[in-house]
Amino acid sequence: MLMLQYCGAGLLVLGALTGTVVAPFHAQCSVEWTFGIPCKSVYLELVTQIKEWKTADNCAKGGEKCLYTLKSANEHYIVAEHATPVHKYVDTLTFKLASSLDNRSCKVSGYSVSQLWYAVLDFGTNYCNLHNLIEGSGLDKVSGYSESTNNSKCTQYSSANCTIY
C-alpha cells in the first residue's frame, strides 16, 4: 500500500509497508558548500561566472551552462536566474555566504527552485544550476572544498547529469 502525505516545507512523504522515502514535492535543490578561501573571493568567482554565462553562446554545443541572469548581489547574498536553452523554463537561484570568524573560509548555502508551479521532477536540473556555477568558476578545486546534499534536499540529485543539464 502506498500512502501520500504532505508534510510542509515542500516535502512529500511516500510511505509504504517497507519504509518511507522523503523527497522535495516541488522541483528544487538545496546544497551546502565549504570553501577554504574568504567569502569575498567566492562571491567574486560566482558573480563573474554568472555574468560569463549570460548569453546562449556557451550552450551552442549542448548542455545548459548558459542563460544565467544576475538579479542582485552583495558579499553575503546572491540572487540569479537560469533559463533552460530550449523551452526557456526559469529557475531562481540564491547563494547565502557566511564567513568563518577568521575570514579564511566560507560556508555557502545554495538553493535553486523552478518557477513553474507544477514542476515536480526535473532530472536534477536544479542541482546542476548550482553545481555548474561552482564547477565553472573553479571553486570546486579550491582548498577546503566540500559539498553536502542528497535526494531529500535535491530533486533527483542522484540521477543528475550536469553535462546535459
- Structure confidence by residue, pLDDT tens digits, 104-143: 999 999 999 999 888 888 889 999 999 999 999 999 999 9
What is the predicted pLDDT for the residue at 25? 77
* Angle, alpha carbons 69-148-54 (nearest 5°): 10
Full-model pTM: 0.85
pLDDT in tens, 31-43: 999 999 999 999 9
| C-alpha cell belonging to residue 32 | 551546502
Task: Determine the Cα–Cα distance for residues 15 and 47; give it in Å rounded to an integer.
Answer: 41
Nearest to 93, CA basis, from 67, 65, 126, 132: 126
